[in-house]
Structure 1
């Protein structure tokens, strides 16, 4: 299956194209807050580097937050359009889901929080366990509230983390195989 995965939620944005388990292209755009301006041209660059066109795509996966309000809107609008025009499934993946998959190799605790910066000293937080099951809904907390949490904390609260769109593609593919196909809804407060 040929998958286009996009993340625009956390400042810098990234794009990956995977064919089954093989990563064909991975582009990280480090200019923050340029998602709306550069996303479509960067997708087209990725397609060109992979030697494919839009019509070859079979699935699109996109992070739907939590994260930057403008970034989420830019990513979802572009991916909805691609999905709609090509008549292919669109899978939403939360930034916390991706971060827990990226960080799990370094996590020792049985329960832990994944955090994503929300700006103005606030963070989105979600509690997970070692089997990668979400134990809570995503919450928006002030920095001082996070420091009082009883569980370990990983993600943006400690250092800025870039979302790996290859992981977005893998999670999107797994959701597709499990028939968990719902139009992504933006997650921001």
Structure 2
């Protein structure tokens, strides 16, 4: 049996899951603010204990590599790399937006002729996003995009479905637009990586532990603390 630990700290959700050959067995997650660093390693230990496994039973670690929160990504990737170094097992990097789309596919029936935009909040009216058609083909690459009322006009013959932490803030903006739909019930989770992680593990598509870094997409800009 091949077990993979999956870590996702790219958003406000701190999530750890366990999969076996592409099937999710268990997951633990929380959306409490600012708790990624304090909870992540304990979640890994807890999920192994819950499933009567030891660290030596793990064949690989998959991590959501970004885009997403700068601090969250650093915590997740650092923890994943530390586990892989200590256990001498491979690291699998998964694009966060690709993982989100995979999670949506397992929850809803995709509509023919539509486009699907996983979105991660990048503050104000900006999001990290990419686009897929109903067959899972990538239509737009990963990008940082400022959204306004005309953002999807170029796809005038297709309906656009937005989902994820970055999509919910556009409910009012597109309320009167019949082309754009918000899937508000989507929940972010490391469990969405299971099939992707297993496919890459089988294909030996693993990361170089020395050089692997999170996919930040944008440079980190520190803000001044409020008085």
The aligned counterpart of 1:129 is 133
Q: How does 1:1-189 map to 2 (within 5 A)?
A: 1-104=2-105, 105-108=108-111, 109-144=113-148, 147-149=150-152, 150-151=154-155, 152-156=160-164, 157-158=167-168, 159=184, 161-183=186-208, 185-188=213-216, 189=218
- Measure the CA separation in 1 of the matches of 2:48 and 2:110: 34
CA RMSD, Structure 1 to Structure 2 (Å): 2.0
Instruction: Tell me the CA shift for residue 187 of structure 1.
Output: 1.8
Asked if structure 1 preserves the Cα contact closer than 8 Å seen for 2:22 and 2:194, the reply is no
- Measure the CA separation in 1 of the matches of 2:140 and 2:84: 30
TM-score normalized by structure 2? Answer: 0.75
Structure with the larger helix share? 1
**Structure 2 residues without counterparts, runs of 5 or longer:** 169-183, 219-227
Instruction: Tell me the CA shift for residue 160 of structure 1.
Output: 7.2
Instruction: Tell me the CA shift for residue 21 of structure 1.
Output: 4.7
Asked if structure 1 preserves the Cα contact closer than 8 Å seen for 2:116 and 2:132, the reply is yes
**Structure 1 residues without counterparts, runs of 5 or longer:** none
Give CA-to-partner distance per residue, 1:67-117, whole Å, 9 cap, x none: 111111100000011011111111011111111112233431343322221
